[in-house]
Amino acid sequence: MTNPIYIEEFLKQEKDRLSPLVKWFGIEPELETTLSICGEGRKKKNHNEVLIRPSWLYRLMVIPFILLNLLMIGVLTNLAVQHNLPFFVNGGLLVFLLALFFVTVYYSFLDKRKNYTILISNEGIFIRGERFPWNEIRETFILTIPKTKGHPSYLVILTSKNEFKKFDLYHFSVSDKKLAEYVEGYKKVLGSEGAVSREF
């Protein structure tokens, strides 16, 4: 059983990160173990590893917006050149569209905090350049912020050093339940050689 003191401290920190508006509505982060999410549906591993990638559907949905943005930039630039318009006429809008373009491309494709793969194997969890062997994992959770836009969720790993590692799942199409089943399917059973006890 995981020490509730660590859970309370972690949830307090997450609550402090919420916007004042979200707090005003009384919304609080919820943390649930991957094992409790699986319930009786916990599955045994049937492959040496599972590789989970960001959703291509999300990226495909963003592409039309990016193309429209580029089209508007081209139109504004063409108007400025053909009609020799002063910068202040459409310069502000052009700068805004350029900034919007780069922010969208970066956030959707280049931001390492959201664009990464999750590898779950017999050896542990490998995520965003970090390696978590099973014998260094005390517990795994799914953190959710209910009743908010997009209903964001995060994979949370509690290490043997009592550190909480949080990973944003916004760009992934895998459900919380399916991810929990993958994690629990590969997780070493309590008491196996090298496993970390969940009681501390």
**Mean confidence (pLDDT) of the chain:** 77
In this predicted structure, the answer to whether residue 40 has a pLDDT above a threshold of 70 is no
Cβ-Cβ contacts under 8 Å for 165 (sequence gap 6 or more): 130, 132, 156, 157, 158, 159
Mean pLDDT computed over 2-15: 80
Counts of helices then strands in the chain (DSSP H, E): 6, 8
pLDDT digits (tens, 9 = 90+) for 118-163: 999 888 999 988 999 999 999 999 999 876 555 678 999 999 998 9
pLDDT > 70 in the chain, percent: 70
Q: Which residue has the higher pLDDT, 193 or 16?
A: 16
Q: Which residue has the higher pLDDT, 152 or 47?
A: 152
Mean pLDDT computed over 64-90: 70
> Tokens 């039309």 label which residue?
64
158, 2 contact by CB (below 8 A): yes
99, 92 contact by CB (below 8 A): no
Mean pLDDT computed over 150-178: 87
